[in-house]
A and B are shown apart, each in its own frame.
Chain A
Amino acid sequence: MTHIKVTVDGVSYADDVEPRLLLVHYLRDVLGKTGTPIGCDTSNCGACTVLMDGFSVKSCSVLAVQADGSDITTIEGLANGEWHPLQKAFNAEHALQCGYCTPGMILASADLLKDNPNPTDEQIRDGLEGNLCRCTGYENIVRAVRRAAQAGAGQ
């Protein structure tokens, strides 16, 4: 067991974990933060994307021990009193259907907009290549990210 300290959505946690425990299982099974889902086991789908010290990571590809000392933001901690511009935009543009990819898609988009506050549609598509959605055909996801960018989500 290894002792780790992690801040998740503004709350500090200290836990002893198996070195092999994945960050996503730490979030879901140890902390009960089930807003972050798991969609694959090969880091292809991106459903489990969270922000680690502000950068998007696939939490199935990070060990909990690697997150020691870091500040994690999950979909549950993104809203700050009101919905984040990306959450508003995903709702307004109907950018989700089943919603399973949505947490990862929104957090990957947050990182994308941080790097490039005014992306073209092509840059949005390329930037979200690591996040798979089976429902929307991506059309409305692209529109939502564009809308969030216009609302200043990346500023």
Chain B
Amino acid sequence: MTTTAESPAAEIGKARTRKEDARLITGQTTWTDNLVLPGMLHMAFLRSPYAHAKITSVDVSGAKSMPGVVAAFSGADFAEEQGSLPCAWPVTPDIVIPPHPPMATDEVRYVGEAVAVVIARDRYAAADALASIDVSYDPLEPVLDIRTALDEGAPKVHETGNKSYEFVFPTCGDIDAAFSGASVVIERDYRQQRLIPCAMEPRAVVASWLGDAVTLWSATQIPHVLRFAIAAFFGIPEQSIRVIAPDVGGGFGSKLQVTAEEVLAVLISRRLGRPVKWTESRSEGNMTVHHGRDQWQRISIAADSDGRIRGLKVDLLADMGAYLMLLTPGIPLLGAFMYPAIYKMDAYSFRCTGVFTTKMPTDAYRGAGRPEATFVIERIVDELAAELGMDPLELREQNWIKHTDFPYTTIAGLTYDSGNYEAATARAKELFGYDQLRAEQAERNARGDSVRLGIGVSTYTEMCGLAPSRVLGSLSFGAGGWEHASIRMLPTGKVEVVTGSSAHGQGHETAWSQLVADQLGVPFEDIRVLHGDTQISPKGMDTYGSRSLVVGGMAVVSACDKVIEKAKRVAAHMMEASENDIEFVSGRFQVRGDPEQGRSIQEVSLATFAAHDLPDGVEPSLDSDATFDPENFSFPHGTHLCATEVDTETGFVKIRSYVAVDDIGKVVNPLIVDGQVHGGVAQGIAQALYEEAVYDEAGNLLTTTLADYLLPSAADLPSYVTDRTETPAATRLGVKGVGEAGAIASTPAVVNAIVDALRPFGVRDVMMPCSPERVWRTLEAARASAGQQSATSSNGGAA
């Protein structure tokens, strides 16, 4: 066995390359679609070509006679057992949660909704047979615009109407007083376009029954939640369900779902007594993986003439799509706490109306509610600065919470534990060359350059590390926010770490090894991290909401504490010393004052395994579990600065430089952290410049392929300058979440830069995505309007 004579160097903070990479860069992966089981069949779904229609008949008999086809079913064939896909977040007592059968039975409400399924020997035969299914539809009017969906006489998505809920945040402060006495009030309508998450791995599912127990492999972020949901909502005993999330190729919230295809795979496999697999095509995925964002946001800000913010009013219309999926109604409300952001103010009000349309349901997408909030607050603070003739950073500094004010309870009632907006902003300005760029901008504006320089600011914060269970309870959320971990001490001195977090690209196998190496004093290489299989990792709340390290990491170190506590008793016995005299230093138990005498944790592990001579009453195991429930959210923050070159003749926007200074507290692995920031920033830039899910007037999704839905390539994106300030969170590890920060921060930075470039022309907003055509049209409209105004004023002068 290995013994560690010397203490390993501190692992936390080290830029370790990832353990995960060895299999991923050599193609030795376990993506769900790789799986082949004896007798396995393939499923293909026939999907609705209508946004809204009554189903008058479905005839699958033609498909059944096709070669290689084993079975074909319509929704009616599963009506008795398929139940309704769950919504775990009834945000108001009177929320409308319509039934959502995995396969439609009598009415379809979005293009792509599953209507029938073919099960065949291979994927080609299954796809071929879809054409032999006859479905008759009686088309109904689609509902596509949430701004008119609540009008009297509007066609109804569901019999109950198009309103799902109206949520009013408890009023904070005297909002009327804040606005009525204000020198400046600005109101704007902003648009969060609908986005498609587009994780690179399409969804895939395999279900296989053995006797009365089922194993479900799924490209999911949430094996534990999925297991619970299948048990709770589809009548399969929980102890008979094993869910495995093998290698999962990205999620970004899109795989935080209980999907129709997962449920149907389980039910169909049971009925046929054969394993079944389904793998979506990208076009199918763009239509039927839940979408993100899609809100109209009305925001009003009131301020004094010197720039002090008095109050903020937010009124949202949020597109739920056709049904409420797992977290659909709660997503906009995750932003409710965040509109006041880093600013002090006297009053705040928030209202959100959830509206049904005949489109794919929306749900979590990287940031989930917080990007939407950050976008509008950072946009309108820029508008306020322009109105007051102030520098946008000076206005922010005047209003933000000072570093000496922490802990600080915001007007929305959150208590931010830590932060230093001054430090992050100073560092970002320095790296960006803020003053020089402002000077260049003034010079180019003065000479009427046809390509304008814009400078965009985003001083974001967010709430993550989801979440304190009692807070989730108070928000009517259907589960807790804790996380679980186990440490297994193996006889040879090696360590298995079992985590309830379920990584799908985040690098937990590496980062958790670093955490445990420091806690237990064992070599990084001697640790293996296990996750993503409910039989190996029986308890967990999975990975989303930048929670894994903040919550799951704490469960890991808490479990390590218990191992050490247990091992200390054994070590004391081995050394014939009193437990009170033993200290644990870098992987070694030693007697205080006599460091020569000691036992390594590996030696204690072996002695415990042998169990020949344990103290009375001590069980022969050092293995320990811990479940951690956070006291508070995590509040990363930072300052992102973006410089854009905007061609006023073509509307083309080029990002010239991008600086991200983030404060995520203590860093476990800077390599992984930078990667998270890069990817998040890219995704936020993609929202600002490129991406939009577009439906036509009949409710057809036009952006079903990656030729139409513009995921940016390397050629479309800039290089990023990243740096950090470090204000530890007020927790034991001092860490904050980082998975979503980049995506939250970058979208307003880019749009602020574009508007900043075009403000001399009278442009006050450009709707996302800021494509060349849209920028050009906005500019043309502003020029025309300015031309009219100057014509009017010169006419007036002549008169």
Chain A contacts to B: CB under 8 angstroms: 18, 20-21, 25, 28-29, 32-42, 44-45, 47, 74-76, 78-79, 83, 87, 90-92, 94, 96-103, 106, 121, 124-126, 128-142
Q: Which of B34, B505, B672, B717 contacts A98 (CB 8 A)?
A: B505
Is B199 at the interface (CB under 8 A from chain A)? yes
Residue of A nearest to B676 (CB): A97
A40-B34 contact given A35-B27, A45-B200, A99-B20, CB 8 Å threshold: no
Question: Taking the complex as formed, is B656 at the interface, i.e. its CB lies under 8 A from any CB of chain A?
Answer: no
Interface flags, B746-774, vs A, CB<8A=1, else 0: 00000000000000000000000000000
Q: A44, B706: Cβ atoms under 8 Å? A: yes
Contacts A40-B282, A98-B248: A91 and B18 contacting too (C-beta < 8 A)? yes
Stretch at the interface among B308-316, B367-375, B487-495, B677-685: B677-685
Q: Provide the main secondary structure of the chain A interface.
A: loop
Q: Which of B238-287 contact A (CB under 8 A)?
A: 247-250, 252, 281-283
**Interface status of B202 (Cβ within 8 A of chain A):** yes
A18 to B127, CA, bound (A): 15
Task: Pick the contact of B199: A18, A44, A98, A139 (CB < 8 A).
Answer: A98
Other contacts beyond A83-B25, A139-B720: 14, CB < 8 A: A25-B123, A34-B29, A38-B33, A40-B705, A42-B707, A47-B200, A76-B26, A90-B21, A97-B506, A99-B25, A131-B714, A134-B711, A136-B679, A138-B714
Q: Does B28 contact A (CB under 8 A)?
A: yes
Q: Are B507 and A100 in contact (CB under 8 A)?
A: no
Which residues of B in the span 10-43 have a Cβ within 8 Å of any Cβ on A?
A: 17-18, 20-22, 24-29, 31, 33-34, 36
What is the chain B residue whose CB lies nearest that of A74? B27
Other-chain contact of B505, A99, A131, A141 (Cβ < 8 Å): A99
A30 to B26 CA separation, bound complex (whole angstroms): 20
> In the complex, A79 Cα to B28 Cα: how many Å?
12
Chain A residues closer than 8 Å to B466, beta-carbon distance = none
CA distance A137 to B254 in the complex (A): 18
Interface of B is mostly: loop
Task: With both chains docked as a complex, state the minimum distance between the C-beta of B754 and any C-beta of chain A, in angstroms.
Answer: 19
Q: Closest approach, in angstroms, between the C-beta of B691 and any C-beta of chain A?
A: 11
Contact A35 B282, CB 8 Å, known A44-B707, A125-B714: no
Q: Which of B25, B248, B682 contacts A96 (CB 8 A)?
A: B25
Contact A42 B706 (CB under 8 A): yes
Contacts of B675 in A (CB 8 A): 94, 97, 135-136, 140
- Using CB atoms and an 8 Å cutoff, list the residues of chain B in contact with chain A: 17-18, 20-22, 24-29, 31, 33-34, 36, 122-124, 198-202, 247-250, 252, 281-283, 504-507, 671-672, 674-675, 678-683, 705-707, 711, 713-715, 717, 719-720, 742
Contact (Cβ within 8 A) B706 A132? yes
- On whether the beta carbons of B713 and A129 are closer than 8 Å, the reply is yes
Q: How distant is B287 from chain A, measured CB to nearest CB, in Å? A: 12
The residue that A94 contacts in the complex, of B18, B27, B247, B705, with Cβ under 8 A, is B18
Given A47-B200, A94-B675, A135-B505: A39 and B282 interface contact (C-beta under 8 Å): yes
7 contacts between A and B (CB under 8 A): A40-B706, A42-B706, A45-B711, A91-B25, A136-B675, A137-B683, A139-B678
CB of B290, distance to nearest CB on chain A (Å): 16
Residues of A within 8 A of B706 (CB): 40, 42, 44-45, 132
Name which residue of chain B comes closest to A141, CB basis.
B714
Q: How far is the CA of A132 from the CA of B678 in the complex (A)?
A: 15
Report the bound CA distance from A128 to B716 in whole Å. 11
CB-CB nearest 5 A-B residue pairs: A35-B27, A99-B24, A137-B682, A100-B249, A98-B505
User: In the complex the two chains form, is A39's CB within 8 Å of B505's CB?
Assistant: no
Whose C-beta in chain A lies nearest to the C-beta of B506?
A: A97
CB-CB under 8 A from A25, the residues of chain B are 123
Q: Closest residue of chain A to B252, judged by CB?
A: A134
Complex contacts, B678 vs chain A, CB 8 Å: 136-140
Q: How distant is A27 from chain B, measured CB to nearest CB, in Å?
A: 10
CA distance A99 to B202 in the complex (A): 13
Residues of A within 8 Å of B22, CB to CB, are: 91
On whether the beta carbons of A100 and B33 are closer than 8 Å, the reply is no
Q: Which residues of A contact B707 (CB under 8 A)?
A: 42, 44
Interchain CB contact under 8 A, B504 and A121: no
Contacts of B674 in A (CB 8 A): 94, 139-140
Q: Quote the shortest CB–CB distance from A106 to chain B (angstroms).
A: 7
Task: Give Cα A146 to B705, complex, Å.
Answer: 31
Are the C-beta atoms of A100 and B200 separated by less than 8 Å?
Answer: yes
Give chain B residues whose Cβ lies under 8 Å from the Cβ of A97.
250, 505-507, 675, 679
Chain A proximity of B564: nearest CB distance (Å):
31
State in angstroms the CA–CA spacing of A138 and B29 once bound together: 21
Give the distance in Å from the alpha carbon of A76 to the alpha carbon of B28 in the complex: 7
